[in-house]
Amino acid sequence: MHLNHMWNQLHTRRWITLITIKDVAQLAGVSKATVSRVLNNSGYVNEATRQKVEVVMKEHQYIPSASAVSLSRQETSTIGVLVPEIDNMFYGDMLHGITEVADQKELSLIFFDTQDNGEKEARALRTLSQQRVRGLILAPAVDYSNDAMASNLRKQLNALNIPLVIVDRDSDNMPWDGVFYENYQSSYQAAIELYKAGNRRLGVITGDLKLKIGRDRLEGFRQGVLDCGLNLREEDIFEGDFLTPRAYELSKAMFHSGDWPQAIYTSNNSTSLGFLKATHECGIEIGRDIAVIGNDRIAILDMLGIPFSCVYRDNHEMGRVALRMLLERIENPDRPRNIYMIPYSVQLSGSERITK
Amino acid sequence: MHLNHMWNQLHTRRWITLITIKDVAQLAGVSKATVSRVLNNSGYVNEATRQKVEVVMKEHQYIPSASAVSLSRQETSTIGVLVPEIDNMFYGDMLHGITEVADQKELSLIFFDTQDNGEKEARALRTLSQQRVRGLILAPAVDYSNDAMASNLRKQLNALNIPLVIVDRDSDNMPWDGVFYENYQSSYQAAIELYKAGNRRLGVITGDLKLKIGRDRLEGFRQGVLDCGLNLREEDIFEGDFLTPRAYELSKAMFHSGDWPQAIYTSNNSTSLGFLKATHECGIEIGRDIAVIGNDRIAILDMLGIPFSCVYRDNHEMGRVALRMLLERIENPDRPRNIYMIPYSVQLSGSERITK
DNA sequence: TTGAAAGCGCTAACAT
DNA sequence: ATGTTAGCGCTTTCAA
């Protein structure tokens, strides 16, 4: 039997024959059940026996097979994580937060980058389902904003019937737990801060308004402006898409037009970058020619000592909360839907003020 | 039997009873073997039978269990990935590259963030071994530079006996495949570029010299300087650690001293940031008071239109190459050790030049 | 072209 | 305190 193993190994060159529970049992002169008991610290086992078994395990470097355990126990200890683009800092931070609690709970993560693509997302979900993950953390792909896609996704998630928490991108009609950011409130606050800094004509470069997150940020800001007793002119609303190139074009056009708001709210980090690039290129000086407050912190600007005011959230925390929430859902599948709103912080560093 | 399943589900509230191959077989009126055949497109199966089975699978949303398949086939289709800190852009980019080819090869990734901590790394490796991953991509934790740690790691990796490729951080006495960056050559080139730009007194903020990667970059630069007929003064070598705070302190001290090189080579992106922050804070103007060329591209500076010259590598490519190399190793375990050096590129944008 | 049966490595009653 | 046994869901000979 063992020889047979060895032969296979040599023959297929694929198999590093690891020692199995059966081998350990034989070597220690006990039954598999006993080995299993010491392995899992379950049931009764004589101290002497335990020692014996443990010695054998150490000596032969016994490493139990996760597949076998899962199959037998009918449950894995892995969590699936899907993000749209891991090379975006935001998701890197979030993933970091997730790994922190995964590590402490001894969970493994199966990771997918959906590349903002609904089909890859669907495939990934299928795979995750085969893996029988215990739960799922999903930052939906962007075409989630498309109705048909959203409905497909909803169907698929329903069919999967796996404990799930959605992060970052909210949407209507999604019955699952979620961790989102205070988009409306933070944007509202951005308006207030700009007002308090003395600005009276406020404008905004929006995100993708097909996304709820984009609409929320616009509406929060708009309401903030209104509540300051000002009004947000239509021509001071620049409709962007959360991406740098468009924000850059919009800003450039704005500066070329020769007429622009005293202060601008940029809807996310990419938008802020596009805006900053344009100011740079057009010789516009922040604090003199225009004020700005962004959504999302851009750590690198802090590092460089470039003042940039913002409303922002703790991305690590978002990841941590998501996984904790998922674990609670797994513990208690019947509790009602749970939504956690990550609070926002405000960081003022001068760019929200104009001195002319 | 099925009823029994249902009962368990309700009772434990844990089990979403998925349909198994046995159920499919019964429903389709064939044997498990036949279902397996259509599932894997293996062996002979009558077209009519295939249809029948496929219909049942669709209708009942049959999803095979990966654990069962792995256990039976004695092999998984997952790859382990370990990085020291995923919220560092570099590793985010690399992971993205890895996911690209994983996706096209239908491989799943189990992901670990070792937090630059040798113990977490060791634990992760153990887990990965339980998961019986097909192979491993490892960007070693930094305390890898410590001899004892390195030796432990080497032992553990040896014991694991899993196909492996090391990325980013090279070290001596590691017999595994690796994907590294042309540290020496790129640093050499940095010196040349600074010379060509007219600078004659060159300096460097080094990385962690306990790391091979740190020493290589220093030595490459030093040789470049020598080959330009200049010499690198000891006082123009500032010993950093690849992290922003120290680079910042060193730069500040340098500027406060009132005497500094015409041009500086910063050994990685974090170092560059610390340096830039200091120039900013000390009122030093790049191009007038000092020139700089960095190792690593800082995408955000490009976006902002801030000129910053650098030698750099394609991080996505690093990830792609790593996984491809791993797959080759898995195919052919006996081929000799394979090392791939990611080439460097040069991007000049003016900061390497001084106009005084 | 299909089915029966053994086995993958482990767990969990149930016996003893 | 320990062993026996029957699975877990799938693959893969071997027969038919």
Same domain as A223, residue A171: no
Among B91, B69, B93, which Cα is nearest to B82's? B91
Q: What is the spatial distance, in angstroms and rounded to an integer, between the CA atom of B339 and the C1' atom of D4?
A: 52
B254 vs B249: CA distance, rounded Å: 8
Whether B228 is covered by a domain: the verdict is yes
How big is chain A, counted in residues?
356
Q: What is the spatial distance, in angstroms and rounded to an integer, between the CA atom of B296 and the C1' atom of C5?
A: 60
Whether A295 is covered by a domain: the verdict is yes
Same domain as B136, residue B49: no
Q: In which domain, by residue range, is A166 found? A: 77-181+315-342
Same domain as B276, residue B194: yes
State the pLDDT at residue B1.
30
What are the distances in angstroms from CA B281 to CA A149, B235, B244, B248? 49, 22, 14, 10
Q: Which residues numbered 66-85 in chain B sit less than 7 A from strand C, measured from CB?
A: 68, 71-72, 74
Helix (H, G, I), strand (E, B) or coil at B137: strand
Residue in B closest to A333 by C-alpha: B13
- At A15, the pLDDT band (50, 70, 90 cuts) reads very low
Contact A319, A98 (CB under 8 A): yes
- List the Cα angle A74/A77/A80 in 5-degree steps: 110
Least CB–CB distance from A303: residue in B95, B132, B244: B244
Whole-number CA gyration radius for chain A: 27
How big is chain B, counted in residues?
356
Tell me whether residues B61 and A159 touch, CB distance under 8 A. Answer: yes
- Joined together, the tokens standing for residue A181 give 């950011």
Whether B36 is covered by a domain: the verdict is yes
Judged by average pLDDT, the poorest of A114-118, B290-294, B337-341 is A114-118
Say if residue B351's pLDDT is above 80: yes
Residue in A closest to B93 by C-alpha: A87
Contact A290, A261 (CB under 8 A): yes
Helix (H, G, I), strand (E, B) or coil at B341: strand
State the pLDDT at residue B89.
86
Beta bridge partners of A108: A78
User: Which ranges constitute the DSSP H helices of chain B?
Assistant: 2-12, 21-28, 32-40, 47-59, 66-73, 89-104, 118-130, 147-160, 183-196, 212-227, 244-257, 269-282, 299-304, 315-331
Residue A72 is which amino acid?
S
Q: Is B252 left (phi over 0), alpha (psi -120 to 50) or beta?
A: alpha
Q: In whole numbers, what is the pLDDT of chain A averaged over residues?
A: 92
Same domain as B55, residue B87: no
- At B356, the pLDDT band (50, 70, 90 cuts) reads low
Mean pLDDT of the region A312-323: 97
Whether A353 is covered by a domain: the verdict is no
Q: Which residues of chain A make contact with B273, given a CB cutoff of 8 A?
A: 300, 303-304
Helix (H, G, I), strand (E, B) or coil at B78: strand
Whether A234 is covered by a domain: the verdict is yes
Helix axes B269-282, B244-257, angle to 10 degrees: 40
Whether A349 is covered by a domain: the verdict is no
State the pLDDT at residue A356.
61
Q: What is the CATH number of the domain that holds B257?
A: 3.40.50.2300
Say if residue B269's pLDDT is above 60: yes
Q: How many angstroms away from the CA of A227 is the closest CA of chain B?
A: 33
Phi, psi (degrees; rounded to nearest 5) at B176: -95, 165
Which residues have a Cβ under 8 Å from the Cβ of B204 and sit 6 or more positions away? B218, B221, B222, B232, B236, B237, B238, B264, B265, B266, B267
Q: What is the spatial distance, in angstroms and rounded to an integer, between the CA atom of B6 and the C1' atom of C1?
A: 34
State the pLDDT at residue A304.
81
Same domain as B188, residue B307: yes
Contact A209, A176 (CB under 8 A): no
B151 vs B144: CA distance, rounded Å: 8
Same domain as B12, residue B58: yes
Mean pLDDT of the region B263-283: 94
Instruction: Kindly report, residue by residue over B241-259, the tens digit of the pLDDT.
Output: 999 999 999 999 999 999 9
Tell me whether residues A109 and B111 touch, CB distance under 8 A. Answer: yes
Q: What is the CATH number of the domain that holds A46?
A: 1.10.260.40
- At A7, the pLDDT band (50, 70, 90 cuts) reads very low
Q: What is the spatial distance, in angstroms and rounded to an integer, between the CA atom of B271 and the C1' atom of C11?
A: 53
Which residues have a Cβ under 8 Å from the Cβ of A340 and sit 6 or more positions away? A178, A179, A180, A321, A325
Least CB–CB distance from B108: residue in A67, A127, A304: A127
Q: Which residues of chain B make contact with A126, given a CB cutoff of 8 A?
A: 63
Same domain as A66, residue A29: yes
pLDDT over 70 percentage in chain B: 95
In the β-sheet with A263-266, what is the strand arrangement from edge to edge? A237-238, A202-205, A263-266, A291-295, A309-312, A345-347
Same domain as B228, residue B288: yes
Among B19, B57, B22, B66, which Cα is nearest to B38's? B57
Q: A155: how many CB neighbours lie within 10 A of its CB?
A: 10
State the pLDDT at residue A181.
96
Which residues have a Cβ under 8 Å from the Cβ of B94 and sit 6 or more positions away? B83, B139, B167, B168, B315, B316, B318, B319, B322
Judged by average pLDDT, the poorest of A138-142, A248-252, A256-260, B122-126 is A138-142
Say if residue A114's pLDDT is above 50: yes
User: Which ranges constitute the DSSP H helices of B131-182?
Assistant: 147-160
State the pLDDT at residue B2.
34
Mean pLDDT of the region B182-200: 97
Mutant choice from B19, B286, B303, B318 vs A, greatest count of A C-beta within 10 A: B303
- A&B contacts, CB < 8 Å: 154
Instruction: Kindly report, residue by residue over B82-127, the tens digit of the pLDDT.
Output: 999 998 889 999 999 999 999 999 999 999 999 989 999 999 999 9
B332 vs A13: CA distance, rounded Å: 8
Mean pLDDT of the region A30-50: 95
State the pLDDT at residue B151.
86
Tell me whether residues A334 and B13 touch, CB distance under 8 A. Answer: yes
Tell me whether residues B63 and A112 touch, CB distance under 8 A. Answer: no
Say if residue A4's pLDDT is above 90: no
B100 vs B96: CA distance, rounded Å: 6
Among A312, A281, A317, A310, which Cα is nearest to A293's? A310
Beta bridge partners of A209: none
Pairing of strands B108-113, A202-205: unpaired
Q: What is the spatial distance, in angstroms and rounded to an integer, between the CA atom of B11 and the C1' atom of C15?
A: 26
Instruction: Kindly report, residue by residue over A56-102, the tens digit of the pLDDT.
Output: 999 999 999 999 999 999 999 999 999 999 988 899 999 999 999 99
Mean pLDDT of the region B131-139: 97
Q: How many angstroms away from the CA of B273 is the closest CA of chain A?
A: 6
Tokens 């076998």, located at residue = A68
Same domain as B205, residue B153: no
Residue nearest to nucleotide D9 (CA to C1'): B68
Phi, psi (degrees; rounded to nearest 5) at B130: -60, -35
pLDDT over 90 percentage in chain A: 82
Residue in A closest to B63 by C-alpha: A130
Q: Is A64 left (phi over 0), alpha (psi -120 to 50) or beta?
A: beta
Whether B350 is covered by a domain: the verdict is no
Mean pLDDT of the region B2-24: 56
Instruction: Kindly report, residue by residue over B161-177, the tens digit of the pLDDT.
Output: 999 999 998 877 789 99
Whether A187 is covered by a domain: the verdict is yes
Same domain as A107, residue A14: no
Which residues have a Cβ under 8 Å from the Cβ of B4 and sit 6 or more positions away? none
Q: Which residues of chain B make contact with A266, given a CB cutoff of 8 A?
A: none
Helix (H, G, I), strand (E, B) or coil at B121: helix
- List the Cα angle B318/B323/B327 in 5-degree steps: 145
Same domain as B104, residue B65: no
Least CB–CB distance from A14: residue in B75, B93, B162: B75
Say if residue B145's pLDDT is above 80: no
- At A122, the pLDDT band (50, 70, 90 cuts) reads very high
B183 vs B220: CA distance, rounded Å: 7
Q: Among A55, A73, A91, which residue terminates a domain?
A: A73
Instruction: Kindly report, residue by residue over B199-235, the tens digit of the pLDDT.
Output: 999 999 999 998 889 999 999 999 999 999 999 999 9
Q: Which residues of chain B make contact with A108, given a CB cutoff of 8 A?
A: 110, 112, 127, 131
Among B289, B274, B284, B283, which Cα is nearest to B242's? B274
The total of structural domains in chain A comes to 3
Specify the nucleotide whose C1' lies closest to residue B71 (CA).
C8
- Joined together, the tokens standing for residue B146 give 């410590």
**A179: number of CA atoms within 13 Å, CB side?**
27
Q: Which residues of chain A make contact with B300, given a CB cutoff of 8 A?
A: 273, 298, 300
Residue nearest to nucleotide C3 (CA to C1'): B31
Instruction: Kindly report, residue by residue over B277-314, the tens digit of the pLDDT.
Output: 999 899 999 999 999 999 999 988 988 888 999 999 99
Top mean pLDDT of A141-150, A300-309, B52-61, B293-302 is at: B52-61
Same domain as A93, residue A39: no
Contact A94, B86 (CB under 8 A): no
State the pLDDT at residue B14.
39
pTM, two decimals, is 0.92
Q: Which residues of chain B make contact with A162, given a CB cutoff of 8 A?
A: 16
B214 vs A73: CA distance, rounded Å: 48
Q: B285: how many CB neighbours lie within 10 A of its CB?
A: 12
Contact A314, A297 (CB under 8 A): no
